[in-house]
Amino acid sequence: MISTAIRVARVGSAAELAAAALMMLGFPALMLAALVPSIPAFAAAAAVTYLADHYLHRKGSYLVNRLSKVRAGLSIRFLIRQLLLILLLARLGLADDLIYYGAIACFIAFYGLQAPHGALVTLIRNRRRMPVATRNIDLASRIRIPDAPPRVLLHRSAEKMLHLDLAAVAGILVSASLESAVAGFIGIGVTVGLGLLYVLALVPYVRGAKIPPNADKVLAAVDAWLAEYRPETVLYFSGSKDSAYQVNMWLETMEQLDSRPLVILRERVILNNLAPTTVPVICVPGGVHLMNLDLTNVRVALYAANVGKNIHLLRVPTMKHVFIGHGDSDKLASVNPYSKVYDEVWTAGRAGRDRYAIADVGVRDDDIVEVGRPQLAPIQGWSGVPDGRIPTVLYAPTWEGWDGNPGNTSIVLAGENIIKKLVKADPPVRVLYKPHPFTGTVSKEAGAAHRRITALVEKAAAERATDARFTADAAAQAAAKAELTRIEARLAELSGKGKGNAKGDEAEATRDGLVDIARHEEVARLRAAWNTAYWNSFGGHEHRVITGAEPRLYDCFNVSDAMVSDISSVVSDFIASGKPYAVTDSAELGVEEFKRQNTAVRAATILSNSAAELGGLLDAVRDPAADPLAEDRGDLKRYLLGPDEPTSIVQFNTAVGNLAIKAETRNVGQESRAAAAVPEASVTVARDDLTA
C-alpha cells in the first residue's frame, strides 16, 4: 500500500511521502490551534510544517513543484503560516497589544523585502549567464570573468529568505505565552534585520567589477580563440537533458581525431550533463550567436541527432555536413528521410547502406560511407563461460518510443515472462536487468511493467541470498566495497564535490573550465578501477537491477554471457562481442518476417511474448561448441559493423580526412569562380559605358 502511494504521489521514498503528509496535515492543524487557541499546539504544528517543507525542498520533491502549480507555492505557505499566527494573537485577546501591531508591521515589511531580494537574485543570475559557455577554452586570458557570489547567497535563495521569519514567529509565540512584548520585538528585529542584510549583501554583485563582460565582448573573445585554435572538425548536438548520452558516446572518438576537434552544444542542460572530455566545448543557446561565430576553418560537421536546430549550422556552405547518429539499428529512425539534408551519412557497416537503399528515402548510395563503430572498441570477445561461474544473462530492453508501436519494446508484453523464466532456469543463471533510461516516459504501461520486473528481480535476488547452493567470498566482497568507497571518495575529490566548491555558476565554470590532463587521465583510471570493484562487490550469482549511468551498458556486455533485448542499437552493439543473444518479436510478426524486416536479428534466438524459446539461448551459452548460430553471428558482425581491420577509429579518421578534402576543394573552386566573375563583370560594365 505504501509503495502504491509512493508511485501515485511520485515521491522517491517513504520518508518523502511521510514529510508530504505531515506538511499537508500541518496547516489544518495550525488553523485549528489558532482557533482553539493553543500556543503549544500552534508551535508544534508550525515546527512540523517548517521541517517537512525544508526536507521536501532539500530532496527536490516532485510534490513541491506540483504545489506551486495549484497556487500553494513556497511563498504562499509561509504567508498562510504568518496569517494564522496573527489569527492566534487575535483569538488570545492580544488584538489591542503592541505585539499584535508589531507582528503585522513585521510581516508587511518582511514581504516588502521579498521583491528587491527576488529582483536582485534574478538580475545576478541573468547577468552571470553567458551568451556562450565553454569548457577547455581559455577565455580568462582574453576577458575578465569575476568570481561568482558566495554559493550561500544564491543557492535556494527564496527558501533561505523566507525562513528568516523563524526568528519573528518564535519571538511572537514566546511573547504571547509570557504576555511580554520583549521577546517578540527581538525576534521581529532579527527577522527584518537579517532580511535587510541579505538584500544589501546581493547589491554589489549587480554592478561594477562583479559583473561579467557583456555579450559582445564574450563573443569577440570566443571568436579570437576560434581564430587561434582553427577547429577543423565539429561535433554538433542539440537535445533534451535525457539525450546527453547521445553526444557523450562520441566524445572519446572526437579525442582521437587526427584533425582539430570542437564540440558545439545548443542547450545549457546538455553542457551540465556532458561527460568529462579534453575536447574544447562551446555551448551556444542562441541561434543568432551561433550564426555569428567564426567557423570559417571548420571543414567537417558531425551530427549525432536529427533535430530542428541542426539547420543553424547546416546553412554554412564552407563545411561538409555528416549524419553519424547515436546508434545503429533497424528502427525507422535509422533511415529518417531528414538524413538527405546532409552531404554524407556514415554507417557502421554494409547493413546501414542497405537499409537506406531499401527504405528509398532520398539518401543516395554515393553519399553513404561505412566507418565502423569506434565506440565498440571496449567490448570484449567471448569464448564461453569461465569455469566455476554460472552464466550471466543481460536483459536490456529498449524504451516504448513515441508512436505506440508494440514492437518497440518487449517490456510491456514479454518482460515479466522473460525474467520469470531466467530466474527459474535450471541449471541456474544470473540475471542483470538494465532498462533504457527513457523507459516509462511516454507509456504508463511501460513504467508499470518496469516496476514489476524490478520487483521480480529483487525478489529472486533475496531468495538466492538464502539459498545454500550459492556462496560468495565475503572477505573479497568486503574488500571490493571498501575499494569502491575509496574510489568514489577520490572521484568526488577530483570533481570538487564534498569541499563546498562545486561550480554551479556558468560564468565561473566557463572561466575555470580548462581540463587538467593529469586529472582527466586519473579519473579515467579510477573509473576503470571502479567498474572492476563494482562487479567484485557482490557475488557472481547475484541477480541485479542496474540503472543510472554507471556501470555503463558496455560494462554490462563484458560481464554477461548472453543478452535479451529489442530492436535497437543495443543489439547491433552487442553483436560486436560475438556472444549469443535473443530478440523479442513483441509485435508478433513471426520469425521469418521478423528476420526479413530486421537485419540485426538474423543470428539471434527469436522470442515470442511468452519467452518459450529462451531455452535455445541458454543451451548456446552452456555449450558454445553446439551453438548453431555461432557462424551466423560472425558473418552478421562483419555485415553490421564492418571489418575488424582497419580498426574503426582508423576508418573514421580516414572518412573525416577525405571529406575535409572535398570541402576544401569546393571552397577553392568557389573562390576561383568568384575571382573569375569579377573581371568579367568589370568588362561588361566598361562595354556598357562605351556604348552609352
Residue-wise pLDDT for 389-425, tens only, equals 899 999 999 999 877 788 889 999 999 999 999 999 9
- Higher local confidence (pLDDT), 511 or 64: 511
Segment 159-181 mean pLDDT? 93
Q: Is 269's pLDDT higher than 50? A: yes
Q: 525562513: which residue's cell?
A: 163
Residue linked to cell 557502421? 348
Give the whole-number percent of the chain exceeding pLDDT 70.
94
**What's the rounded mean pLDDT across residues 541-557?**
92
Please report the DSSP string for 654-692 in residue order: HHHHHHHHHHHHHHHHHHHHHHHHHHHHHHHHHHHHHH-
| Whole-angstrom distance, CA of residue 622 vs CA of residue 429 | 10
- The pLDDT, as a whole number, for residue 679 is 64
Say if residue 646 is preceded by a cis peptide, omega within 30 of 0: yes
Per residue in 420-479, pLDDT (tens digit) is 999 999 999 999 999 998 899 888 999 999 999 999 999 999 999 998 888 888 899 999
How many Å apart are CA 245 and CA 242, to the nearest integer? 7
Identify the three-state secondary structure at position 135. strand
- 383-408 in b/e burial notation, b at 16+ Cβ within 10 A? eebeeeebbbbbbbbbbbbeeeeebb
Cα distance between the two ends of the chain: 96
The mean per-residue pLDDT over the stretch 594-606 comes to: 91
683 burial level (CB within 10 Å; 0-12, 13-18, 19+)? exposed
> Which residue's C-alpha cell is 551540465?
272
Domains for the chain: give ranges and CATH numbers: 2-129+148-210 (no CATH), 230-376 (3.40.50.2000), 392-472+539-641 (3.40.50.2000), 474-537 (no CATH)
Does 685 score more than 70 pLDDT? no
Asked if omega into 378 is within 30° of 0 (cis), the reply is no
**pLDDT at residue 251 in the model:** 95
387 — pLDDT class (breaks 50, 70, 90): confident
Q: Which residue has the higher pLDDT, 503 or 662?
A: 662
- SS3 per residue for 521-587: HHHHHHHHHHHHHHHHCCCCCCCEECCCCCCCHHHHHHHCCEEEECCCHHHHHHHHHCCCEEEECCC
On the question of pLDDT at 152 being above 50, the answer is yes
Residue 1 has pLDDT above 80, yes or no: no
Q: Considering Cα of 330, then 334, then 337, then 340, what sign does the dihedral take?
A: negative
Q: Which residues contact 251 (CB under 8 A, 6 or more apart)?
A: 263, 274, 275, 277, 279
Per-residue confidence (pLDDT) for residue 499, from 0 to 100: 37
Residue pLDDT, tens place only, 284-318: 999 999 999 999 999 999 999 999 999 999 999 99
324-334 average pLDDT score: 73
The average pLDDT across 71-83 equals 88
Compute the distance between CA of residue 368 and CA of residue 371 in angstroms, rounded to an integer.
Answer: 10
Does the pLDDT at position 678 exceed 80?
A: no
Torsion of CA 105, 107, 108, 112, to 10 degrees: 130
Average pLDDT value for residue range 113-134: 93
pLDDT of residue 5: 43
Query: What is residue 331's predicted lDDT score, i.e. its pLDDT?
Result: 62
Q: How many CB atoms sit inside 10 A of residue 251's CB?
A: 20
Task: Give the angle subtended at the CA of 83 by the CAs of 77 and 84, to the nearest 5°.
Answer: 90
Measure CA 597 to chain center. Answer: 32
pLDDT grade for 9, boundaries at 50, 70 and 90? very low
As a whole number, mean pLDDT of residues 24-36 equals 93
- Asked whether residue 568 carries a pLDDT value surpassing 90, the answer given is no
State pLDDT tens for residues 624-664. Answer: 888 999 999 999 999 989 998 899 999 999 999 999 999 99
pLDDT band at 69 (very low <50, low <70, confident <90, very high): confident
Q: What is the mean pLDDT of residues 578-600?
A: 92
> Pick the residue with more confidence: 384 or 36?
36
Percentage of the chain surpassing pLDDT 90?
Answer: 64
CA–CA gap between residue 177 and residue 179 (Å, rounded): 6
Least confident of 230-234, 364-368, 430-434: 364-368
Asked if residues 391 and 431 have their Cβ atoms less than 8 Å apart, the reply is: no
Calpha distance 561→574 (Å, rounded): 11
Is 692's pLDDT higher than 90?
no
pLDDT the model gives residue 404: 76
Is it the case that residue 562 has pLDDT exceeding 70? yes
